[in-house]
Amino acid sequence: MYGVIGKITATPGKRDALVAILIEGTTKMPGCLSYVVALDSTDADALWVTEVWDHQKSHQESLSLPAVKDVIASGRPLIAGFSNRVETTPVGGVGLR
């Protein structure tokens, strides 16, 4: 498996709009075992995205899907920055196939 965890900082006051875009447009991604968007409890403009994929190739291929391209295009104006990106190797857990 392949995992990615990253922090996204929204432009001030736009976090909820960005969350809605990220959740709405990423429901059908082949190979995605888990995609979680979470609010940062200490920063009103930040959120965390945790992804688990069957393998890294699925993650890379997802970036060419029309729905994912639309999410990126819609969300980009609401993003102030990215940080704390970490690649992981998930080994199991609740909800993982």
Give the fold, CATH level 3, of 2-88.
Answer: Alpha-Beta Plaits (3.30.70)
Domain range annotation of the chain:
2-88
Tokens of 2: 């392949």
The identity of residue 43, as a single letter, is D
- Tell me the whole-structure pTM to 2 decimals: 0.90
> What is the number of other CB atoms lying within 10 angstroms of the CB of residue 30?
10
The pLDDT tens digits along the chain (97 residues) read 999 999 999 999 999 999 999 998 666 789 999 999 999 999 999 999 999 999 999 999 999 998 889 888 999 999 999 999 999 999 988 876 5
Percentage helix, strand, coil, to 5, in the chain? 30, 35, 35
